[in-house]
């Protein structure tokens, strides 16, 4: 669980860092011992649940890969408060042309019961116009 009082920006940053470190570690563990694959997926899902709303995430695609889905050092581009309980957080890769990570993201955060959580995410390739719904697990 995340502590009370964290901002939507902190939730997104925590999600990115948590997913990066989990996926990096899980990939190494499953390379060393393929029998831990299912346990690592369950661990990753539990870590995500601390950051995501309880809304059913359709078409969930849990995976362990190298490089991980998120690199370190994402840069905050913009924060848009759509409503008092809805914020959009725009982030981009740490540097232009990052081969490992060339997606810009919009994370939609909702505030329920006084706590901010990520409800959905959209991504686009750097340099393109259209954001498309992406998977958060």
61 Cβ neighbours under 8 A, 6+ residues apart: 135, 137
| Whole-model pTM over 0.75 | yes
The 3-state DSSP class for residue 132 equals: strand
Domains of the chain listed by start with CATH number: 8-134 (3.10.450)
The pLDDT value recorded for residue 98 is: 58
The pLDDT value recorded for residue 96 is: 64
The pLDDT value recorded for residue 52 is: 92
Q: How does residue 99 score in pLDDT terms, banded at 50, 70 and 90?
A: low
| Complete DSSP assignment for 3-44 | PTT--HHHHHHHHHHHHHHHHHHHHHHHHH-GGGHHHHHHHH
The 3-state DSSP class for residue 42 equals: helix
Alpha carbons 15 and 2: distance in angstroms, whole number:
10
The pLDDT value recorded for residue 89 is: 98
The pLDDT value recorded for residue 137 is: 65
At 46-93, the pLDDT tens digits run 898 899 998 765 545 567 877 788 888 888 999 999 999 999 999 988
Q: Which two tokens stand for residue 49?
A: 């649940």
At 13-36, the pLDDT tens digits run 999 999 999 999 998 888 888 888
């Amino acid at each position: 669980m995340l502590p009370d009082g964290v901002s939507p920006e902190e939730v997104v940053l925590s999600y990115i860092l948590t997913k990066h470190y989990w996926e990096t570690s899980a990939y190494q563990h499953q390379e060393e011992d393929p029998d831990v694959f299912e346990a690592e997926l369950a661990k990753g899902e539990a870590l995500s649940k601390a950051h995501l709303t309880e809304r059913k995430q359709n078409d969930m695609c849990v995976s362990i890969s190298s490089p991980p889905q998120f690199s370190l050092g994402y840069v905050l581009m913009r924060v848009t408060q759509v409503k008092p309980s809805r914020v959009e957080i725009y982030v981009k890769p740490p540097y232009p042309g990052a081969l490992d990570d060339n997606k810009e993201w919009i994370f939609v955060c909702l505030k329920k019961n006084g706590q901010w959580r990520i409800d959905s995410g959209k991504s686009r390739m750097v340099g393109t116009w259209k954001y498309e719904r992406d998977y958060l697990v």
